[in-house]
Chain A
């Protein structure tokens, strides 16, 4: 199939960007979106032009590196699918495909379709560590976790930190990401000691990075490649409210952790 790509090109963070029209010829429907870009890049290189810069790593939907806005939707038209796992058979021959970087103040463009998502790393770092005792493995039944809590924590932990939720949100809000990160520890016994300080610090870091607030649009959950549920935004709200109104200062105790 033949396609017309309209791609955002930008030399570096300070440069003025523009859309470039690039033809992609003889694209196999079995290619992934990134493989299609690889082939286009090979052609650009051979023609002496600069190839399109884009982020990628695992190419199997688990690392969260890839991600571009395809025809107005982060990660493109297939629900629950990262850009690297999106295949060209979901496009039509002759289709015009508009490809743009994730847009947010907290995600400045590095080049073309690559953005700097280290804001997410700083939010995670703000969450800090858990004071669980290390050493030999704990006894299997020493710490009971309900099936429901385990499943829900797992659902939250599915977040790969790709940033599509921010890219999709009309406010460029990071609530889904932060909700997922706060919840997957907050739901487990190991995450309880720092539960309130963690949510407080992560929300403060989120705001400091310049993400917008949540207006309950739910665009985030609609594009999340890992189907992280917007329930975690509710949990984030409740946890922060809990941190203000319920949390008692922790009294130093003798027991470990």
Chain B
């Protein structure tokens, strides 16, 4: 009855797009944890996994296109909403107290752009092989590239910082995405919050293990 265009122009429609794109990015993070954990099992495991992903060019490009679209949609609508929200209160309060909103929720607009920056850095480091970290880049040897990168202290710290920010972003995002789709009720609230906490811990700890292991020289020492 009502067109999709007006729907996606409305604030609610925009949030639906953010939630759906956020969900795909979130799902990717879960999948990514598997990859990162394989690093701990040694070169064969993770390089084999890499080869598996590259098994079909069509398949990987299909996933890449999906992810890229999600990222573009997510960032675009985050920016649009940010400006709308910024304009919605031109004069702020002298004195402000928050009663219920979490720190994670209030910092989405800051953790997000940092994540964008990190994703670009991360792709440059491990996918495109640009010279963003010291040392050589070996095409196809994921293990060596990761080890090489994380051996440099600041690179490991950037990764650890980024996964913490990702955790912060997901602590709110992983329940907010359901709520933005209308899945909000007192009966499921604690379920969603619990889900977000567990997912956050699994994702950020899972992704932190590899850089941390190298940083503390547990691997590659």
Question: Residues on A close to B: CB < 8 A?
Answer: 6, 8, 17, 19, 69, 71-73, 98, 100, 103-106, 168, 170-173, 196-197, 200, 203-204, 206-207, 210-219, 221-223, 229-231, 233-238, 240-241, 243-244, 247-249
> What 0/1 pattern do residues 153 to 183 of B give for CB contact below 8 A with A?
0000000000000000000100110011111
Report the minimum CB–CB distance from A33 to chain B (whole Å).
Answer: 16
Interface window among B27-35, B62-70, B83-91, B142-150: B83-91
Give the docked Cα–Cα distance between A171 and B109 (Å).
12
- Number of B interface residues at 8 Å Cβ cutoff, please give it: 45
Q: Are B184 and A234 interface neighbours, CB within 8 A?
A: yes
Q: Are B100 and A221 interface neighbours, CB within 8 A?
A: yes
Report the minimum CB–CB distance from B209 to chain A (whole Å).
Answer: 30
Q: Are A213 and B11 interface neighbours, CB within 8 A?
A: yes
Whether B106 sits at the interface, judged by CB under 8 Å, is: yes
Choose among A106, A218, A235, A244 the residue with the greatest number of B CB atoms under 10 Å from its CB.
A244
Give the docked Cα–Cα distance between A233 and B180 (Å).
9
Q: Are B10 and A203 interface neighbours, CB within 8 A?
A: yes
Q: Are A104 and B15 interface neighbours, CB within 8 A?
A: no
In the complex with contacts A98-B95, A213-B15, A217-B105, A234-B183 CB distance below 8 A: yes
Q: Are A106 and B93 interface neighbours, CB within 8 A?
A: no
**Which residue from chain B places its CB closest to the CB of A220 in the assembled complex?**
B100
Cβ contacts under 8 Å, A237 to chain B = 12, 15-16, 179-182, 184
Cβ contacts under 8 Å, A211 to chain B = 11, 88
Report the minimum CB–CB distance from B38 to chain A (whole Å).
Answer: 34
Cβ contacts under 8 Å, B81 to chain A = 212-213
Which residues 1-46 in B have Cβ within 8 Å of A in the complex? 1-2, 4, 6-7, 9-16
Q: Are B12 and A236 interface neighbours, CB within 8 A?
A: yes
Q: Which of B4, B10, B94, B186 contacts A204 (CB 8 A)?
A: B10
Cβ contacts under 8 Å, A244 to chain B = 1-2, 4, 7, 13
Whether B55 sits at the interface, judged by CB under 8 Å, is: no
Give the docked Cα–Cα distance between A216 and B182 (Å).
11
Choose among B2, B12, B90 the residue with the greatest number of A CB atoms under 10 Å from its CB.
B12
Question: Residues on B close to A: CB < 8 A?
Answer: 1-2, 4, 6-7, 9-16, 81, 84-85, 87-101, 105-106, 108, 172, 175-176, 179-186
Cβ contacts under 8 Å, A200 to chain B = 2, 6
**Which residue from chain A places its CB closest to the CB of B99 in the assembled complex?**
A222
Report the minimum CB–CB distance from B29 to chain A (whole Å).
Answer: 19
Q: Are B101 and A218 interface neighbours, CB within 8 A?
A: yes
Give the docked Cα–Cα distance between A211 and B89 (Å).
8
**Which residue from chain A places its CB closest to the CB of B86 in the assembled complex?**
A212
Q: Are A243 and B88 interface neighbours, CB within 8 A?
A: no
Cβ contacts under 8 Å, A6 to chain B = 94-95
Report the minimum CB–CB distance from A128 to chain B (whole Å).
Answer: 15
Report the minimum CB–CB distance from A166 to chain B (whole Å).
Answer: 9
Give the docked Cα–Cα distance between A170 and B183 (Å).
22
In the complex with contacts A72-B95, A213-B14, A240-B12, A170-B181 CB distance below 8 A: no
In the complex with contacts A203-B12, A213-B12, A215-B108, A173-B88 CB distance below 8 A: yes
Report the minimum CB–CB distance from B116 to chain A (whole Å).
Answer: 18
Q: Are B182 and A235 interface neighbours, CB within 8 A?
A: yes
Choose among A73, A104, A212 the residue with the greatest number of B CB atoms under 10 Å from its CB.
A212
Q: Which of B2, B92, B97, B184 contacts A247 (CB 8 A)?
A: B2
**Which residue from chain B places its CB closest to the CB of A10 in the assembled complex?**
B91
Q: Are B100 and A104 interface neighbours, CB within 8 A?
A: no
Give the docked Cα–Cα distance between A206 and B13 (Å).
13
Q: Are A223 and B99 interface neighbours, CB within 8 A?
A: yes
In the complex with contacts A106-B88, A213-B12, A231-B185 CB distance below 8 A: yes
Q: Are A216 and B179 interface neighbours, CB within 8 A?
A: yes
Give the docked Cα–Cα distance between A138 and B2 (Å).
33
Give the docked Cα–Cα distance between A212 and B81 (Å).
8
Cβ contacts under 8 Å, A73 to chain B = 97, 99
Give the docked Cα–Cα distance between A152 and B95 (Å).
35
Q: Are A212 and B89 interface neighbours, CB within 8 A?
A: yes
Report the minimum CB–CB distance from B200 to chain A (whole Å).
Answer: 15
Q: Are B97 and A71 interface neighbours, CB within 8 A?
A: yes
In the complex with contacts A219-B99, A222-B100, A247-B1, A212-B88 CB distance below 8 A: yes
Q: Are A234 and B172 interface neighbours, CB within 8 A?
A: no
| 26 A-B pairs whose Cβ atoms sit less than 8 Å apart in the complex | A69-B93, A72-B93, A73-B97, A98-B95, A103-B91, A104-B88, A105-B88, A105-B89, A105-B90, A171-B85, A212-B84, A212-B87, A213-B12, A214-B11, A216-B179, A218-B101, A231-B186, A233-B184, A234-B182, A236-B182, A237-B15, A240-B7, A241-B181, A241-B182, A243-B1, A244-B4
